[in-house]
Structure 1
Amino acid sequence: MELNQYLSMFIDESTEHLQAINEKLLELEQSPENLDIVNVIFRSAHTLKGMAATMGFEDLASLTHQMENVLDLMRGGKLSVDSFIFDGLFKSTDALEAMLADIIAGGTGKADVTAIVAVLKSIVNGEYKQAAAAAASPAANPESAADDAVALDQYQFSVLEQSLDSEFNVYFIRTELTDECVLKAARAYMVFRELEDNGEIIKSFPSVEEIEQDKFDRAFSLYYVSKLPQEELVHLIEGISEIRSATVTPLDHDSLHLMAQTAGAAQETAAAVEAPARPEAKPSAAKPEGKAAPAAGAGHAVANRTIRVDLDRLDHLMNLFSELLIDRVRLEQLASEIRRSDLTETVEHMARVSSDLQNIVLNLRMVPIDTVFSRFPRMIRDAAKTLGKKLDLVITGADTELDRTVVDEIGDPLVHLLRNSADHGIESIEERKRLGKSETGTIQLRAYHSGNHVIIEVSDDGAGINRNKTLAAAIKKGVITEAEAERMPNEEVYRLLFASGFSTADKISDLSGRGVGLDVVKTKIESLGGQILISSKEGVGTTFSVNLPLTLSIIGAMLVAVGPEKYAIPLNSIVETAAVDVGKIRRLHGNDHLEYRGSVIPVVDLAQILEVPGYRPQEVGERNLVIIRKREKLAALIVSDFIGQQEIVLKNLGKYLSKVFAVSGATILGDGQVALIINPNVLIK
């Protein structure tokens, strides 16, 4: 079988499983008694192990198997979890992610995980050595299969019974090595490998971990399910060198009950704490050649209702549909001029169909920002341990959808902002106590739509930005002079943090203080056509607000005229339109304002802001206003005339015109004219 064709699928699914493991481990750390979470983690690890083994990534499969052993103890209620165990599982997940990253980069996925494996094995073996030793004595020198019987828990017993009902053969196997055998563990491994190739091991004694560490006599026993006949199994095992004997005892329902009763009486204490060494799986009657079927998640089949599509194909589809939309608008304009009923009906039907198609095309490219946000709780947890702080990350708006290309690029800037809040923003536990604050600092990560933009905010309830400290650092680095510092408003002081190489950290740490970070954030966000703003109050906290445009999208917009020029304003930002008498617009503190529904809002003359040539607004009569909103803030835009609503294609202006004030892009109208698209968010401060 050619596996290269499945590599892309393996990478995608492994990434999803590792992300799920990380998320659920964080949940489990908050609710350690919730076994449902453990089962979800176990299923993800089990699936990942199977995929890795199939693809030939043995190191990845081996480490995941060791994680399974720990999780198996946890889901059986036989392991009391603590921070050491969680750290071991998190480190294992980090190692798995590093292996996957190597595979993505074209490597083999190999890594030295000896230390991590040793930690996992110590977790499995540390609390159960005494019980295992007590359980070893009755099975060391058996006289019969019933004397050798290994205690089964209720689940394992149920699996064996169902296997018999499904016409599988159930065996109790006792294997003894010769006295001359030096590498006992290696020989036992060969037996296990042969058996697993032809069936499923339900329970072994001693455990696989103890056998791997040579912590057993020259005999071991196990319950086994297979389609192979008894004679063939004996021949299979005794065909391995240095095997003295293999006793294969077939079991039926009666003998299985008898062995369970015998083992229960002899090993009651050990059975309460002994860990099943291998992930249990219910054999499937439809599985040929006696091999057990892989786990199917929650125990029932779920049809696969998704496919993976290359992003370049979606880009091409979007570009084609953009051209189709421009032609549709042109057809609508021609139909209104020609005024033939059959043509008008056809164009209207085409408009309805294309609108439905538009929604489908847009949704294909949109993904929830949760795909980025979901990795940050783990990062904040690790940062809290590194910094010796108590941190709580609150995420809202994770279901906000963005274009896939934007989601892929925004991850790294957000990492810098969150680390900055954790390190610089949140005070130490002692300092927060002294200030009368809660010991736990809160970092909030929010996302929401605003017009044809997405706003992502990172805020904390920490110390805020120290104006004097920031200015002192800027003067020291020669960014500004002392004279400039004295008359600088706070907004400009905060912007100094984005200067290259600028840092106010007292010491360098693994998280920050190296003079890199915020300048990288600003550069990256601007390359996406967005902007970043800072607001802060000393002693209260700081908020970073990232404003990102939807760079290639189709939006609803209101077309307006400003003098001889046409502009588009996104409908999502518009509250309403109105015609207001000029006398109601008052000038306060050098700016125009309007009393609007019980409050006073600023009035912005678009012709003046956009410097429309040759246009002078009328001094008497009424003015046409578009009321826009940015969160709770409102403003009114003065326009010459309302043209109407229309679906428009948002086109990027390119790198040479990327910083035009108040303009986020352009669109081509049905008559071939180009209309600039207004960015209302920058008009409201």
Structure 2
Amino acid sequence: MESNQYLDMFIDESNEHLQAMNENLLSLEKNPSDTSIVNEVFRSAHTLKGMAATMGFEDLASLTHQMENVLDGIRNNQISATSELMDVVFESVDYLEEMVEDISNNGSGKKNVKAIVDKLERIEKGEAVQEIAATTATQEHKSQTEVASELRFDDFELTVLSQSKEQGFSSFNLSIHLREDCILKAARVFMVFEVLEQIGEVIKSNPTVEQLEEEKFETSFIVTLVTKESANEVKERVMKVSEIEKVVIDELNLDAINNITDNYDHDSSADSLTEKLSEKDDNSGENNQEKESDKQKAAPSANKTIRVNIERLDTLMNLFEELVIDRGRLEQISKEVNSNELTETVEHMSRISGDLQNIILNMRMVPVEQVFNRFPRMVRGLSKDLNKDVHLEIIGAETELDRTVIDEIGDPLVHLLRNSIDHGVEDPETRKKNGKPAQGNITLNAYHSGNHVFIEVSDDGAGINGEKVLNKAIDRGVVSKENASSLTDKQVYELLFSSGLSTADQISDISGRGVGLDVVKSKIESLGGNVSVDSEPGYGTEFLIQLPLTLSIISVMLTEVEDEIFAIPLSSIIETAIIKDEEILAAHNQKVIDFRGSVVPLIYLNEFFDVPKTTEKGKYHSIVIVRKGEKMAALVVDSFIGQQEIVLKSLGNYLTNVFAISGATILGNGQVALIVDCNSLIKS
């Protein structure tokens, strides 16, 4: 039986069990005497252990096996579920998540779990957690054994390393750590490799080069280098690359690695693991009490669902997009031919394809719960690190978004939550002095409104110091002193999204209020959404994210500019209008109009996109008022064609990052229309 055919199922189910463990462990920390919660965690760990052993992932099974022992001690009242003990159990879950992540990235799932297993064994024997923490403090430098476990060298690589040593070369392991706020991780990795290849030969990396290029790693990676340069010279060269936090370099001990390579398979043999697991299973605590509680549970109804690989849904969506294009073409032909039978058939096909579109889009919709579920654990960890008491309230986790958006929204939300914990919510003493409860509150709220999903991240902390923001903005040249006095409080808060603007007195490892918020804004805008911020000093801050339900099929207003057609997304449009020459005013060398009491700049699309002039302009002008947050602009076009649902297509690899154009679509008559990126237009 080929295990590979079950790998996707193993990864999906493992992630579900790990998420369940995280949630139940958080509940257990609040209710340490509730044995039903311990039983739930135990079941997840037991199932994960069995699956891992069956699939041959020994390290995963070994660690989960030892976790079972500790959980068994908790539910038998032999071990107390203190906060310190929960830290160790959570650390174990972190290891498990890393191994499953490695497996999902086509890795072996191997990890040196000796240290954490040793902690769990000592807890099982009754040692105090504080003593264990004191004797197992984290070491900065990894031993040769640990490095060898992460960098498994094959015979060819070992031969290269041995021959290099004979020829006078040195072999080094470099543990390279990027800064937490590093934006383009893959670019930094490329620069590091470029530096290393100038002074030697890279033999291996962990993660692999492909995974590094795809940014499938956190903030650190390990590289084995053969060179004639000294360790100090290598370290100095690498540290010159920007956004490198530190480099730990060790000379490779080939004898130790050879021994590890020879003994590794024997020490972690499946037979010995199976024996250990079988031995434990005989008295794993699947006692009568648990069996009775299982019987009390109602039998689950048949779940008529199947797992479908997201790539298959992407393929289905691409095929449907082609159908939408052909549908538009048929509608165009039916108008030209003027045949009743053809018109009726096309109308029927349009209705059917519309229903099909709804079904396909709903198939791709995923609850934001998949993203939100990891945040309670993160908030717990950061709160402990910062000695703060923070409660996270999640509302609307069932709200659904397109899978593509779900995959991208996690990092911006992490950054906003980190900001709220680090610089929004005050420490307990400060809160008490200000007449607030010692425990701070952060609310994560998601809800639908029209064709958009809104996500609010709010806290009841200190709020944003508007004066401080404004002074920083003036110092950085983001805004002039003359314009600063006319800004409203909300406009001042929006300045936080400017590049590199921070009001933090000290930049911490967790976050800095403002550091990276420009990146958050860019990421959300790249998804067709926008983000705004509001605050009340002393009472809290709220970030509001607006996102489209889907990214592939959008509603647009088709407009004509000379002989070209441009599509403007309806989500950006406030309204359309026709103005006369005398309504056009001038301000600061910019043509503007008065739109409902607001001064709105005019942007002539024929000039902006350098469209060849083919017609003479009259005294009337068609305009489209578009908005990005609080800012507006009036796009001048020649005429309106009408609203239409179109398929958003990329411009291809040769036309990446075309300014103010987000993509293109094929119309019913076969003509290509460019889709205007209103966010970029207004920003310019």
Category of TM-score, reference length = shorter chain? 0.5 to 0.7
User: Taking structure 1 as reference, are residues 103 and 338 closer, same or farther at Cα in structure 2, changes over 3 Å only?
Assistant: closer
User: Taking structure 1 as reference, are residues 624 and 4 closer, same or farther at Cα in structure 2, changes over 3 Å only?
Assistant: closer
Q: Is the 8 A contact 2:73 2:124 kept in 1?
A: no
Q: Is the 8 A contact 2:554 2:647 kept in 1?
A: yes
* 2:113 alignment partner in structure 1: 112
Q: CA deviation at 1:360?
A: 2.4
* 2:244 alignment partner in structure 1: none
Q: Is the 8 A contact 1:53 1:61 kept in 2?
A: yes
Distance (Å, rounded) in 2 between the aligned partners of 1:342 and 1:390: 70
Q: Is the 8 A contact 2:401 2:550 kept in 1?
A: no
Q: Is the 8 A contact 1:666 1:675 kept in 2?
A: yes
* 2:22 alignment partner in structure 1: 22
User: Taking structure 1 as reference, are residues 517 and 497 closer, same or farther at Cα in structure 2, changes over 3 Å only?
Assistant: same
Distance (Å, rounded) in 2 between the aligned partners of 1:78 and 1:119: 14
Aligned-partner SS, 2:669:
coil
Q: Is the 8 A contact 1:14 1:48 kept in 2?
A: yes
Q: CA deviation at 1:474?
A: 6.0
Q: CA deviation at 1:473?
A: 5.3
Aligned-partner SS, 1:14:
helix
* 1:122 alignment partner in structure 2: 123
* 1:2 alignment partner in structure 2: 2
Distance (Å, rounded) in 1 between the aligned partners of 2:659 and 2:397: 30
CA displacement, residues 267-323 of structure 1 (integer Å, 9 cap, x when unaligned): xxxxxxxxx48899979xxxxxxxxxxx99968576564444443333332222112
CA displacement, residues 419-454 of structure 1 (integer Å, 9 cap, x when unaligned): 111111222222222222232222232334566554
1:172-183 correspondence to structure 2 within 5 Å: none
Q: Is the 8 A contact 2:455 2:544 kept in 1?
A: yes
1:148-297 correspondence to structure 2 within 5 Å: 201=282, 203=283, 276=285
1:337-356 correspondence to structure 2 within 5 Å: 337-356=336-355
Q: CA deviation at 1:365?
A: 2.8
Q: CA deviation at 1:71?
A: 3.5
* Aligned amino acid, residue 42 of structure 2: F
Distance (Å, rounded) in 2 between the aligned partners of 1:461 and 1:610: 48
Distance (Å, rounded) in 2 between the aligned partners of 1:192 and 1:327: 58
* 2:82 alignment partner in structure 1: 82
Q: Is the 8 A contact 2:457 2:544 kept in 1?
A: yes
CA displacement, residues 171-193 of structure 1 (integer Å, 9 cap, x when unaligned): xxxxxxxxxxxxxxxxxxx9997
* 2:405 alignment partner in structure 1: 406
Q: CA deviation at 1:405?
A: 2.8
Question: What RMSD, in angstroms, separates the aligned Cα atoms of the two structures?
Answer: 5.3
Q: Is the 8 A contact 1:536 1:543 kept in 2?
A: yes
* Aligned amino acid, residue 327 of structure 1: D
Q: Is the 8 A contact 2:602 2:634 kept in 1?
A: no
**Structure exhibiting the larger radius of gyration computed from Cα positions:** 1
* Aligned amino acid, residue 520 of structure 2: V
* Aligned amino acid, residue 118 of structure 1: K
Q: CA deviation at 1:385?
A: 1.0
Aligned-partner SS, 1:92:
helix
Alignment coverage as a number of residue pairs:
524
* 1:366 alignment partner in structure 2: 365
* Aligned amino acid, residue 356 of structure 1: D
User: Taking structure 1 as reference, are residues 639 and 383 closer, same or farther at Cα in structure 2, changes over 3 Å only?
Assistant: same
Q: Is the 8 A contact 1:450 1:572 kept in 2?
A: no
* Aligned amino acid, residue 399 of structure 1: E
CA displacement, residues 583-629 of structure 1 (integer Å, 9 cap, x when unaligned): xx9x9x997566xxxxxx9798998799899777869xxx9999x99
User: Taking structure 1 as reference, are residues 345 and 121 closer, same or farther at Cα in structure 2, changes over 3 Å only?
Assistant: farther
Distance (Å, rounded) in 1 between the aligned partners of 2:643 and 2:478: 48
Distance (Å, rounded) in 2 between the aligned partners of 1:32 and 1:603: 61
Q: Is the 8 A contact 1:556 1:645 kept in 2?
A: yes
Q: Is the 8 A contact 2:528 2:551 kept in 1?
A: no
1:128-143 correspondence to structure 2 within 5 Å: none
Q: Is the 8 A contact 1:362 1:553 kept in 2?
A: no
* 2:509 alignment partner in structure 1: 510
* 2:66 alignment partner in structure 1: 66
Aligned-partner SS, 1:456:
strand
Distance (Å, rounded) in 1 between the aligned partners of 2:438 and 2:617: 59
Q: CA deviation at 1:90?
A: 1.7
* Aligned amino acid, residue 670 of structure 1: G
CA displacement, residues 449-480 of structure 1 (integer Å, 9 cap, x when unaligned): 5665544332322222324444565677x666
Q: CA deviation at 1:534?
A: 3.5
CA displacement, residues 319-353 of structure 1 (integer Å, 9 cap, x when unaligned): 22112112112212322443433323322332222
* Aligned amino acid, residue 346 of structure 1: T
Q: Is the 8 A contact 1:57 1:108 kept in 2?
A: yes
CA displacement, residues 352-403 of structure 1 (integer Å, 9 cap, x when unaligned): 2212221222233332222111111111111111111121222233333333
* 1:388 alignment partner in structure 2: 387
* Aligned amino acid, residue 369 of structure 2: D
Distance (Å, rounded) in 2 between the aligned partners of 1:667 and 1:395: 38
CA displacement, residues 41-95 of structure 1 (integer Å, 9 cap, x when unaligned): 2322221111111122223223222333344455567766432343232222112
User: Taking structure 1 as reference, are residues 444 and 50 closer, same or farther at Cα in structure 2, changes over 3 Å only?
Assistant: same
CA displacement, residues 547-589 of structure 1 (integer Å, 9 cap, x when unaligned): 44567422456768899987767678899x999999xx9x9x9
Q: CA deviation at 1:508?
A: 4.8
Q: Is the 8 A contact 1:471 1:485 kept in 2?
A: no
Q: CA deviation at 1:485?
A: 9.0
User: Taking structure 1 as reference, are residues 29 and 631 closer, same or farther at Cα in structure 2, changes over 3 Å only?
Assistant: farther
- Further displaced range: 365-374 or 376-385: 365-374
CA displacement, residues 235-278 of structure 1 (integer Å, 9 cap, x when unaligned): xxxxxxxxxxxxxxxxxxxxxxxxxxxxxxxxxxxxxxxxx488
CA displacement, residues 484-531 of structure 1 (integer Å, 9 cap, x when unaligned): 796584667556645665544334543135996435434544554555
Aligned-partner SS, 2:99:
helix
TM-score (norm: length of structure 1): 0.61
Q: Is the 8 A contact 2:100 2:109 kept in 1?
A: no
Distance (Å, rounded) in 2 between the aligned partners of 1:415 and 1:534: 16
Aligned-partner SS, 2:463:
coil
User: Taking structure 1 as reference, are residues 522 and 552 closer, same or farther at Cα in structure 2, changes over 3 Å only?
Assistant: closer
Gaps of 5+ in 1: 128-189, 209-275, 284-294, 595-600
Distance (Å, rounded) in 2 between the aligned partners of 1:192 and 1:463: 53
Aligned-partner SS, 1:410:
helix
User: Taking structure 1 as reference, are residues 280 and 9 closer, same or farther at Cα in structure 2, changes over 3 Å only?
Assistant: farther
Q: Is the 8 A contact 1:532 1:547 kept in 2?
A: yes
Identical amino acids, percent of aligned pairs: 55
* Aligned amino acid, residue 16 of structure 1: E
Instruction: Indicate whether 1:458 and 2:453 are aligned.
Output: no
User: Taking structure 1 as reference, are residues 514 and 635 closer, same or farther at Cα in structure 2, changes over 3 Å only?
Assistant: closer
Q: Is the 8 A contact 1:398 1:447 kept in 2?
A: yes
User: Taking structure 1 as reference, are residues 479 and 562 closer, same or farther at Cα in structure 2, changes over 3 Å only?
Assistant: closer
Aligned-partner SS, 2:392:
strand
* 2:669 alignment partner in structure 1: 671
Q: Is the 8 A contact 1:602 1:635 kept in 2?
A: no
Aligned-partner SS, 2:426:
coil
* 2:310 alignment partner in structure 1: 311
* 1:534 alignment partner in structure 2: 533
* 2:646 alignment partner in structure 1: 648
1:472-483 correspondence to structure 2 within 5 Å: none
Q: Is the 8 A contact 2:463 2:537 kept in 1?
A: yes
* 1:54 alignment partner in structure 2: 54
CA displacement, residues 206-228 of structure 1 (integer Å, 9 cap, x when unaligned): xx8xxxxxxxxxxxxxxxxxxxx
TM-score (norm: length of structure 2): 0.61
Q: CA deviation at 1:96?
A: 1.5
* Aligned amino acid, residue 647 of structure 1: E
Distance (Å, rounded) in 2 between the aligned partners of 1:564 and 1:519: 37
Aligned-partner SS, 1:443:
strand
Distance (Å, rounded) in 2 between the aligned partners of 1:124 and 1:436: 45
Q: Is the 8 A contact 1:70 1:124 kept in 2?
A: no
Distance (Å, rounded) in 2 between the aligned partners of 1:196 and 1:625: 68
Gaps of 5+ in 2: 129-270
Q: Is the 8 A contact 2:24 2:37 kept in 1?
A: yes
* 2:378 alignment partner in structure 1: 379
User: Taking structure 1 as reference, are residues 636 and 505 closer, same or farther at Cα in structure 2, changes over 3 Å only?
Assistant: closer
Distance (Å, rounded) in 2 between the aligned partners of 1:606 and 1:503: 32
Distance (Å, rounded) in 1 between the aligned partners of 2:630 and 2:467: 31
Aligned-partner SS, 1:392:
strand
User: Taking structure 1 as reference, are residues 57 and 472 closer, same or farther at Cα in structure 2, changes over 3 Å only?
Assistant: same
